[in-house]
Copies of this chain bind each other. A is one copy, B any other.
Amino acid sequence: MMEVAVFGAGRIGKIHAGNVVRQPGVKLRYVIDVDAAAAQALAAQHGAQVATAEAALADKAVGAVVIGSSTDTHADLIQRSAAAGKAIFCEKPVDLSVERARTCAEAVERAGVTCMIGFQRRFDPTFAALKERLAAGEIGDPEMLVVTSRDPGAPPVEYLKRSGGIFRDMLIHDFDIFRWILDDDAATVYATGSVLTDPAVGTVGDVDCTAVTIRTRRGRLAQINTTRRAAYGYDQRFEVLGSKGMLQAGNHRPTEVTAATGTHVSQDLPEHFFLERYRAAYAIELAHFFDAIAHGKPVRTTIGDGVKALELADAATTSWREKRIVEL
C-alpha cells in the first residue's frame, strides 16, 4: 500500500484527493494546506490526517506527493519532495520562471524520482484518441494545427496580477498540446493580444484575447486563439490537418438532447468549465501516475514538458510585449 500526501485542499486539490482514494493499492495519508479548515475538511472526508509539509515529507511511509497548492509553492515543494525521495505529481506550471523550473527539473533528475506535471488534457479521452489515431498514421504527416481554447469567464483581477500573464497562465496548456500533437520543436513564435472583454484586465498589464502562431523547425504551422470569456462556455477544440486528412477534437456536451422548436434546432452548450470537461482526464492522469510508479514506467508528461511549455509561454509573452517575431 503506497501512502500519499496531497498538498492543497482547494478546488483542484479536492479533485486529486478524490482520485487518489480510488486508486487500488494507494492510501491518502496526509492533506496539507495553509487553510487549516480546508485541510481538515478534506482529510476528514477521506479518512486522512492533516499534517505540515515537513511532517509529511519526513514520513518514510509516504511514497508519493500530489501538489495542487498555489503556483508559487510548486517549485519549492517539488525540490523538497525530490530531496525526500518522493514520487511527485505536480499541477502545471512548474513555476512562473523558466530558470526556476529548470532548476527544479535538475533537482528531480539528480534525485532520480518520478515527476509528472499535470497536463491533464493529454489524458482526455477525446484528445488521447485523436493523438493515438494521428500516431497510427490515419491522416498521414501532420501539417497544420489550429487550437481554439476559450474560458467561459475571466478570473478575478487579483488572481490575474499574480498569474504570470495569460500566456503562462492559460496558454501553457495549449503550448503543451502543440508540442504533443505536432511532436516538433518551435522555430519561431508570433503572439498578439488585446483587451476586449474587460478593461480591468489591461490595468494589470495583461490581455484577455490572444492569437499565436508557431512555426516549427520542419515548417509546420500552428495557430492558437484564446479568450478569457466565451459567452457560450468552455470551448476546447483543436484540429490537425495531415497529408491524408484531418482529425478534429470537439467539445463534450453534458447530454445528447436535441430540441427542435419554432425557431431553431439546438443542443447543449459544452461542458461548463475545466472541472466538468476534464473530470475523466483528471482521473486518468492520476491512475497513469500511480501505474507508472508501480511498474517503474516513465510518465507521459514530464517536468521537461513543463519546462518546454514555459519556454513557449515566455517567447509568446516577449513577442506580444515587444511586437516582434521571436526565434527559439
Q: Which one of B197, B229, B325 lies within 8 Å of A324 (CB-CB)?
A: B325
Copies in the complex: 4
**Contact between B211 and A194, CB atoms less than 8 A apart:** no
In the complex formed, the residue of B with least CB distance to A258 is B248
Interface stretch among A25-33, A63-71, A261-269, A288-296? Answer: A261-269
A259 CA to B267 CA, complexed, in Å: 10
Chain A residues with a Cβ closer than 8 Å to the other chain, count: 71
Per-residue B-contact encoding for A137-150, CB less than 8 Å = 1, 0 else: 01110011010101
- A306–chain B nearest beta-carbon distance, Å: 26
**CB of A133 to closest CB in B, whole Å:** 7
| Least Cβ–Cβ distance between A169 and chain B, in angstroms | 18
A83 at the interface (CB under 8 A from B): no
Q: Is A126 an interface residue (CB 8 A)?
A: yes
Q: Is A1 an interface residue (CB 8 A)?
A: no
A190 touching B213 in the complex, CB below 8 Å, given contacts A126-B256, A197-B243, A245-B261: yes
Among A215, A260, A268, find the residue whose CB has the most chain B CB atoms closer than 10 A: A260
Chain B neighbourhood of A143, CB < 8 A:
194, 196-197, 209, 227
Chain B residues whose C-beta falls within 8 Å of the C-beta of A150 in the assembled complex:
241
Residues in B with CB closer than 8 Å to A148 are: 146
Across the interface, name the chain B residue whose C-beta is closest to A237: B256
Known: A221-B210, A221-B211. A269 touches B263 (CB 8 A): yes
**A250 contacts chain B at the CB level, 8 A cutoff:** yes
Residues of A that sit less than 8 Å from B by CB: 125-126, 129-130, 133, 138-140, 143-144, 146, 148, 150, 188, 190, 192-197, 209-211, 213, 215, 219-223, 225, 227, 229-233, 235, 241-252, 254-270, 323-325
